Amino acid sequence: MRNLKIILKILIVAIPATSYSQGWILYTDQEHHFIINFTREPDIQNFEYTSEYGATYPGRTYSVEENGRLLSLMVIDFRDGEEKYAELIDKTDDAPLSSLWLYDQRGSIAFEASKLRQRGGEILYDNWHHIDLVEGLNIVIENINGSSTYAGLYLHSNRLYMMEATVPAGFPPQSLFQQSLGFLDDEGRRIRYRLTPEGERTRLCTGQWVC
């Protein structure tokens, strides 16, 4: 029975959301180049994010909390990371700092995922995932208090996107939220890629995917 419960949670996480339920809106943020479903206009908060290697970057959370359910998206903007570390090098003459901006970005999914795993509770799912062939990670946690957290982490265009849906015991998985994230180009067009086994990515520009 326990294994069946885990399998059902995983299967529902993997089902794409193809339609809107009553009460959901499609939220667009052109500044940070994404779209996502929320149940209403999200509350927005800016903050300073401290990276694995100690640099600070602009962060922003978009969240909706109602009826015991919390839906949130955190966006970390790494676009000026190289400049930040270049300034440190100018002050310290420490050559190894020149690569840390890259480590901050490339390691950001693993860094945030490790913090999720350390929260406690039972990890029911922890595996590779993608949205429109933007690679990332999905984690499902049954928390100590019986609630469930469904998390997704993706890195695109020098930004980390971290989604979390936490719901009370007995709530269904939040697939309309989890599967709704999309990435936009400078013109507001949704992006999808082709992906090779080596991880090389090229933008798909056929059919509905206009470049």
CA gap 164, 190 in Å, rounded:
22
pLDDT confidence bin for 94, thresholds 50/70/90: low
Q: Which of 14, 12, 1, 2 is nearest to 127 (CA)?
A: 14
> pLDDT tens digits for 15-37?
444 344 458 999 999 999 999 99
Identify the pLDDT of residue 90.
56
> pLDDT tens digits for 33-49?
999 999 999 999 999 99
> pLDDT tens digits for 150-200?
999 999 999 999 999 999 999 988 888 999 999 999 999 999 999 999 989
The answer to whether the CB of 48 falls within 8 A of the CB of 59 is: yes
| Three-state SS at 27 | strand
pTM: predicted TM-score of the whole model, two decimal places: 0.86
Token couple for 11: 């299967």
Domain ranges of the chain: 2-203
Identify the pLDDT of residue 161.
98
